[in-house]
Structure 1
Amino acid sequence: MNSYKVILVAAGSFAACSPAFSQSSVTLYGELDESIQYVHNTGGQHSQISLQGGQIGTNKWGLKGAEDLGGGLQAVFRLENGFDINNGKAKQGGALFGRYAYVGMKSDSYGTILAGRQYDTLMDLVYPVQPNNYLYYFTTPGDVDNSDGNARINSQVKWLSPVWSGFRVAAAYSFGGVAGSMGSGQTYSFATSYTAGPLMLAAGYSHADQGNPTLSTRGTSTYGSLFLSPVNEAYSTAKAINIARAGAKYSIGPVTLGGYYSYSEYLPDAYSKFRIAERYNNGSIYANWNITPFVLVQVGYDLLKSHGDSSATYNQVTLTGDYLLSKRTDVYASASYGHASGHNGLGVAQAVIADSFPAAGNASQTLVFLGMRHRF
């Protein structure tokens, strides 16, 4: 028997004696989003025209996979990188997998447990009723309530239940990892949702400790930063951030109506640079119309009011249209206007449209853009 036949016989014998291998899959996916935008009032200047990525989508690529372990149980993982399409640099502070990095187990009967870097539970269950689940620039100015998920959570263990008669619940805890203080830098959240035909209701709560300065430094937290703009920049030394969000949506044929409310508070201690808690009340309403299977139009209005250490009011309105060229490619156009009044803790309040890329304007700001998105 020559060596080739020996190898075949050995391989066949191994296969016959070995247990059956489980089924597994790994998917490479991503999204590219680029636009040309015009901004009136930004960074102290009258106008700006520039290329900007990630306007209604996200520039990202990732790997996700699952292995069937039998009995309705799977091992799952996800790694996802965010990047700037105009210079190729990694986003999320330069992290290799700054958007997602987790591993876990999924059970048909008991739900899913995930461990690693991921969103809080409000993004899992409340986000689907929000306007930015469809298109962008309809949410809270400055993202002070994390309604757009700018703050991801490190070292988090999360449980997501299966769907029970339309209900779903989720809970998560993130270990601060500070020696001598379990609470320093910790994050926890919980949320629930209910779906019945065209109606969906959802609510959730999250708490983020910003670090105990006697054992670490202020800002040492498993919770990512929400200090993206002058809306809440004066409160970056907060001891803790508490956020509650609740919303609903209802579909009537091709039209979906919805909205959400959020309450956020930034709490001080002796190490903070402010002394009175700053609180934010935000309300957002929207309407989507699928004119055809290929055309979506969305309009929305957002009102944010702050009080406590400082008091300001932010009004924002957005109109966006999206046209599908194929299942994976679409083009879009959007126009937003924002206006601010009062004080933000640093001085006169400045208009900020959702968590947009342009710098804050003066009392008003206009954002218009035209773009293209491709998913793979």
Structure 2
Amino acid sequence: MKKALAIAAALALPPLAHAQSAVTLYGLIDTGLTYVSNAGGKSEVVAADGIIQPSRFGLRGAEDLGGGTRVIFTLENGFSLNTGADSQPGLMFGRQAFVGIANNKWGSLTFGRQYDFIWDYMTLFSVGSRLGGYGFHPGDYDHLGGSLRINNSMKYSVTPLAGLSLGALYAFGADPASAGNGRVVAAGALYSGGVFSAAFAYNNVHDMTLNPAAQIGTTLGPSFPSGTFVANNMQNVEAAISLTFGPSSTRALFTATTIKHQSASVTMRSYEISEAFQITPALSASAGFSITRMSPSTWHVASAILDYSLSKRTDVYVSTAFQNVTGGANATFLTLPASSNGRNFAARVGIRTLF
């Protein structure tokens, strides 16, 4: 397969003198069945794909320039397996599209549509990294689920010491704002040790389109628009730690999301603890509990997953999630219709394969 792809790349691209290059086709497909106890007021079983991880395919390439320096690029499309539709409507490479320069010592500088450091550094500490869409916090307003992809961005990442990664990002705002995110400033740090790991991430996004009623099951308050609107500013401050002993990894994280629009301001805070345990080389289990507060509402979410690897590329899984909300908000899981009240339960069986 790799040989065939190399031949195809050679036929499609002009010859490059005195350089080594490679282009890789990769992807992931996830699908399954989900039972939900309250989807708009009734229970139902739905065929749902891209839950544990959104389905995607992409091209990743590198050209060796010598001296430890190379040109890199990634073009990645998200899609629905059940319908064939783009996950990011109207975008050919809606998940990622960037090109840049990387050096073994000095790090990488890339330009395009990219993820922030919440995705790069923080998500791996969350139960959602194992459970997928049903394990993330309300509306993914803290972006742990990867819902924030930043247009017109330049991003620098470096590993100055073994185990330590640092990064910074700046994005030029779209004009008009409805065409994409506005100006973005982001930064992050990740330390990965044998036993102890920690991460920090900061985001400040101008002109962020929000639809609170659909995304979190309530409004942001009487000072905010009741429907879809473009928030002047959305800021995320997040931190996480983990302790790993043998097959056990215990993780804790905190996120604070502040949304401002004209003279109004509101803050959503989430606290989460989770455990991942490798039972056998093929079988793993993960579970987590989170509390999210945004006055006057509080979300309690408990979730778990049992995952079995059939091979190095394919696994099957069973997952459950329960959400209880007080303070007037309706329960909402990402990708599922909002509940008609403050409670919802979801159970899923699925299969995932990589290529």
Instruction: Note whether the superposition's TM-score is higher than 0.5.
Output: yes
Inter-partner Cα distance in structure 1 for 2:339 and 2:59: 35
* Aligned AA (1:40): S
Aligned position for 1:170: 167
Could you say if the C-alpha distance between residues 251 and 206 of structure 1 is closer, same or farther in structure 2, counting changes exceeding 3 Å? same
- Unmatched 5+ stretches in structure 2: 1-14
Which residue of structure 1 lines up, in the alignment, with residue 118 of structure 2?
122
Q: Does the 8 Å contact 1:60/1:82 carry over to 2?
A: yes
Are 2:172 and 1:186 equivalent residues in the alignment? no
Q: Which of 55, 72, 96 is 1:59 aligned to? A: 55
**Amino acid of the structure 1 residue aligned with 2:281:** P
Q: Trace 1:24-39 onto structure 2 (pairs within 5 A).
A: 24-39=21-36
Contact 1:144 1:232 in 2 (8 A): no
- Hey, what's the Cα distance between the residues in 2 that align with 1:19 and 1:210? 42
| Structure 2 residue aligned with 1:280 | 268
Equivalent residues of 2:35, 2:45 under 8 A apart: yes
CA-to-aligned-CA distance 1:50-106 (integer Å, 9 cap, x gap) = 100012122111000111110000100000000111110001133110001000111
Structure 1 position 246 matched with structure 2 position 239: yes
1:359 equivalent in alignment to 2:338: yes
Over the matched positions of the two proteins, sequence identity in percent amounts to 30
Q: Which moved more, 1:189-198 or 1:26-35?
A: 189-198
Over 3 Å counting, the alpha-carbon distance change for 1:359 and 1:19 in structure 2 is closer
Q: Which amino acid aligns with 2:215?
A: S
Structure 2 residue identity aligned to 1:333: V
Cα deviation for residue 109 of structure 1 reads 0.9
Q: d(CA) in 2 for partners of 1:140 and 1:26?
A: 36
Using the size of structure 2 for normalisation, the TM-score is 0.87
Distance 2:201 2:83 in 1: 36
Partner of 1:92, secondary structure, is coil
> Scaled by the length of structure 1, what TM-score is found?
0.83
Classify the secondary structure of the residue corresponding to 1:94: coil
Larger radius of gyration: 1
Deviations 1:307-356 (A, max 9, x none): 3xxx20000100111100011111111111101111xxxxx301123x24
1:321 pairs with 2:273 = no
CA distance in structure 1 between the aligned counterparts of 2:54 and 2:48, rounded to whole angstroms? 11
Aligned counterparts, 1:141-290, within 5 A: 141-178=138-175, 185-210=182-207, 219=209, 229-231=215-217, 234=220, 236-269=229-262, 276-290=264-278
What is the match of residue 301 of structure 1? 289
Match of residue 47, structure 1, among 43, 46, 71: 43
Contact 1:142 1:232 in 2 (8 A): no
Q: CA–CA distance in 2 between the matches of 1:19 and 1:337?
A: 55
**RMSD in angstroms over aligned alpha carbons?**
2.0
State the secondary structure of the residue aligned to 1:93: coil
Q: Secondary structure at the match of 2:279?
A: strand
Q: Which has the higher strand share?
A: 2
User: What is the number of equivalent residue pairs in this alignment?
Assistant: 328
DSSP-derived class of the 2:159 partner? coil
